[in-house]
């Protein structure tokens, strides 16, 4: 008997008929002899409607009360889904974030997971219940309701799968998996069979709407292999897992689009030590996340610094920078530009293939598309363009890219390794380990990545614990 965590997004439970469809899927999974925990979002459009109601009363509603209000969207979904399962003869119980043992910390409307106590969930699972958990929410140590921000239901599902040591985690959405680009923009985009955590993380961080980056970081930290698939059919999806050598044979895995970007440029900064710390410190205190950052010294001896962010953060950024600008001197000026978008090429094959950037920028130049700020990592190239050009940019770069694997890279890396990879001694259902099963020790406390303390940990075999022969 396997323990399966299934996450269903807002579109999957957007109508009563779709809730019945989700209930049938959960029912079928349970009838196969599995324990099932479903993590559910609010019905499509409900969260936006609740925020709209709040803003009819106040232009700047209290964030604590927004959390209390928004949390009711998921509670509506879990209750309705339980009722649908009862009609199918299943024992099902709904769990709010608090009842699921999710403790959070940080700011309201963008909380972070501190820990998960799965005791209550385990109790009712052992009694034969299907559990339907509210995603996107938890409670602080003081008992205050707190939501997890954008993509919070994905994060809830991955965290619950880690805490319960689930055998499988499935992320159900309204698409068949992760594609080489948004199929609504690039008609010939192809579904990707497998992705590494790092590739999925880069794609999520750079505009892919399938998963949010925090949930992918969490999955990587705790070795939660998950599958992104469609709740409306039984087609296989995209599996996200640890990197394998053969993945490097494909140069580019995907192209992501991130709209609604803005650029802030600060000019006339005196070239003195500490100016960057002052600027970024003010933005950090305002909880504004920056993306690309560029600084250089102009011919007049003054520094020019530019950075990008989501457009909806522009107003808060300008407010946060006012006192810093005054402190830096009268020569400092702030310029802003909205209406931008980011195009990102992602693939671990970039490590071993040259010329990827040259091909992409040649395609953009041939299409007469003007490019702006550029950032790179080992497996990513990202560039800013006008938002009006972003779809054409994605199409021309996708058309010029090679999506077939170059196995010469895999073969070369195989021979460079000097020997065959070690065969695993056993497989525990999540990841393979070269260490004997009896070497696993009980779990110890460890830290969720960027999420605070937690009472669970992961080891290389995908189980919670430590290996005696590694000391890790």
Instruction: Dump pLDDT digits (tens) for 9-26.
Output: 999 999 999 999 999 999
Q: Write down the pLDDT at residue 419.
A: 39
Which residues are CB-neighbours of 348 under 8 A, at least 6 positions away?
A: 196, 198, 199, 243, 247, 248, 253, 379
Q: Write down the pLDDT at residue 205.
A: 82
Separation CA 155–CA 101 (nearest Å): 14
Q: Write down the pLDDT at residue 403.
A: 66
What phi and psi, each to the nearest 5 degrees, are found at residue 31? -65, -20
Separation CA 166–CA 331 (nearest Å): 58
CA quadruple 260, 266, 272, 274: dihedral sign: negative
Cα distances (angstroms) measured from residue 224 to each of 167, 170, 192, 307, 394: 9, 10, 19, 33, 31
Q: Write down the pLDDT at residue 449.
A: 40
Q: Write down the pLDDT at residue 450.
A: 42
Separation CA 132–CA 147 (nearest Å): 17
pLDDT lower than 70: segments of the chain: 402-472
Exposed/middle/buried for residue 223 (C-beta within 10 Å: 0-12, 13-18, 19+): buried
Taking the alpha carbons at both ends of the chain, their separation in whole angstroms is 29
Burial letters 321-336, b for 16+ CB under 10 A, else e: beebbeebeeebeeee
Angle between helices 119-126 and 152-164 (to 10 degrees): 70
Q: Report the alpha-carbon angle 292-269-341, nearest 5.
A: 25
Torsion of CA 369, 372, 375, 379, to 10 degrees: 0
Q: Write down the pLDDT at residue 294.
A: 92
What phi and psi, each to the nearest 5 degrees, are found at residue 247? -65, -25
Question: What size, in residues, is the chain?
Answer: 472
Is beta strand 426-427 parallel, antiparallel or unpaired with respect to 432-433? antiparallel
Find residue 170's DSSP bridge partners. Answer: 6, 227
Burial letters 346-376, b for 16+ CB under 10 A, else e: bbbbbeebeebeeebbebbeeeebebbbebe
Separation CA 443–CA 420 (nearest Å): 32
Q: What is the pLDDT of residues 49-93, one digit of tens each?
A: 999 999 999 999 999 999 999 999 999 999 999 999 999 999 999
Q: Tokens representing 13?
A: 């439970």
Q: Write down the pLDDT at residue 406.
A: 55
| Cβ proximity of 212 and 150 under 8 Å | yes
**Pick from 329, 204, 314, 191: nearest CA to 264:** 314
Q: Write down the pLDDT at residue 445.
A: 35
Separation CA 36–CA 6 (nearest Å): 7
């Amino acid at each position: 008997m396997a323990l399966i965590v299934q996450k269903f997004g807002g579109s999957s439970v957007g109508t009563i008929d779709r809730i019945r469809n989700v209930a049938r899927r959960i029912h079928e999974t349970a009838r196969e002899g599995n324990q099932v925990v479903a993590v559910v979002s609010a019905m499509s459009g409900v969260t936006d409607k609740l925020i709209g109601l709040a803003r009819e009363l106040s232009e700047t509603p209290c964030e604590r009360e927004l959390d209390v209000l928004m949390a009711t969207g998921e509670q509506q979904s879990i209750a309705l889904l339980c009722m649908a399962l009862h009609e199918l003869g299943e024992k099902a119980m709904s769990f709010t974030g608090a009842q699921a043992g999710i403790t959070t910390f940080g700011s309201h409307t963008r909380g972070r997971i501190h820990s998960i106590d799965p005791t209550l969930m385990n109790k009712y699972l052992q009694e034969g219940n299907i559990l339907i958990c509210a995603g996107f929410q938890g409670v602080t140590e003081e008992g205050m309701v707190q939501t997890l921000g954008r993509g919070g239901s994905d994060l809830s599902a991955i965290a619950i799968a880690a805490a319960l040591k689930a055998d499988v985690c499935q992320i159900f959405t309204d698409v068949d998996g992760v594609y080489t680009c948004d199929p609504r923009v690039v008609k010939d985009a192809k579904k990707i069979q497998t992705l590494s955590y790092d590739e999925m993380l880069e794609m999520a961080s750079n505009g892919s709407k399938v998963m949010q980056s925090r949930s992918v970081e969490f999955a990587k930290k705790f070795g939660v292999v998950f599958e992104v698939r469609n709740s409306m059919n039984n087609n296989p999806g995209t599996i996200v897992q640890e990197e394998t050598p053969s993945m490097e044979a494909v140069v580019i895995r995907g192209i992501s689009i991130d709209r609604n970007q803005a650029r802030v440029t600060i000019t006339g900064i005196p070239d003195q030590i500490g100016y960057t710390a002052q600027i970024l410190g003010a933005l950090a205190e305002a909880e504004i996340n920056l993306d690309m950052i560029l600084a250089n010294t102009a011919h007049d001896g003054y520094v020019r610094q530019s950075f990008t962010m989501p457009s909806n953060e522009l107003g808060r950024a300008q407010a946060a920078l006012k006192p810093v600008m005054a402190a830096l001197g009268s020569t400092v000026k702030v310029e802003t530009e909205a209406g931008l978008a980011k195009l990102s090429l992602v693939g671990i094959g970039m490590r071993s293939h040259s010329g990827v950037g040259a091909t992409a920028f040649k395609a953009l130049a041939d299409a007469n598309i003007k490019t702006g700020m550029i950032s790179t990592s080992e497996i990513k190239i990202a560039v800013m363009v006008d938002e009006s050009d972003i779809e054409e940019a994605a199409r021309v770069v996708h058309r010029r890219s090679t999506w077939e694997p170059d196995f010469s890279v895999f073969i070369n890396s195989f021979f460079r390794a000097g020997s065959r990879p070690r065969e695993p001694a056993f497989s525990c259902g999540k990841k393979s380990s070269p260490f004997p099963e009896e070497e696993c020790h009980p779990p110890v406390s460890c830290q969720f990545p960027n999420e605070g303390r937690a009472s669970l940990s992961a080891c290389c075999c995908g189980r919670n614990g430590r290996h005696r022969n590694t000391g890790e």
